[in-house]
Amino acid sequence: MSDAPMHSEPRRSGAVTSVGIVNIVLGVLNSFCGVVLAFAMGPILNAVGAQALEEAKKQGTNAKDAEGVLALLQTVGPIIGVVVLVIGVLFLVAGFGVLKRKGWGRILTLVFATLAGIAAVFSLLQMDFVGAILQGGYCALCYLVLLNNPNALEFRS
């Protein structure tokens, strides 16, 4: 009699693991950028805005318009930061879900891949080839790996 267990561990492909790791890296980067935007945007805009207002007064242009734009940016900047932070956390959740072979992690990653594909098209329309390659590459990686039937079966256990 063999001492080996009666059931075997399901196959865990390196490609699926790599998608999970890419999601985690993107989550860390987005979270970092979100925190910076949320907490550093105000002071940065204050410094830049004060200098712009001073320059506008020197040139005799309408400083009221510059003050309005600055006030809007000071309000919107931290909000954008929080949104980017939430997206980063969702990438982290998706990454760990994929690494654990959870179906919801796969679906969340496919949603992100779809959004990245749409963003890639818009990047192409704006002639932003670097953005198109990065976004399109992420989209293609996720679709090719997670929709591949043998890899998809890893998420059914």
DSSP letters spanning 94-125: HHHHHHTT-HHHHHHHHHHHHHHHHHHHHHHH
* Cα 152 to Cα 59: distance, rounded to the nearest angstrom: 63
Exposure on the CB side of residue 139, measured as CA atoms within 13 A: 14
pLDDT at 47: 75
Chain length of the chain: 157
Can you give the pLDDT at residue 12? Answer: 82
% of the chain with per-residue pLDDT over 90? 56
The SS3 of residue 1 is coil
Share of the chain above pLDDT 70, in %: 88
Pairwise CA distance, residues 50 & 130, whole Å: 34
Across the chain, what does the average pLDDT equal? 86
Q: Determine the average pLDDT of the residues in 62-91.
A: 82
pLDDT at residue 10 greater than cutoff 70 = no
Q: What is the mean pLDDT of residues 130-135?
A: 95
DSSP state of 148: S
What pTM value is reported for the model?
Answer: 0.79
Categorise residue 148: left if φ over 0, alpha if ψ from -120 to 50, beta otherwise: beta
- Measured between alpha carbons, how far is 26 from 90 in angstroms, rounded to an integer? 10
Task: State residue 86's pLDDT score.
Answer: 96
Q: What is the DSSP string of 54-81?
A: HHHHHHT--HHHHHHHHHHHHHHHHHHH
With 70 as the cut, is the pLDDT of residue 5 above it? no
Least confident of 22-26, 52-56, 119-123, 138-142: 52-56
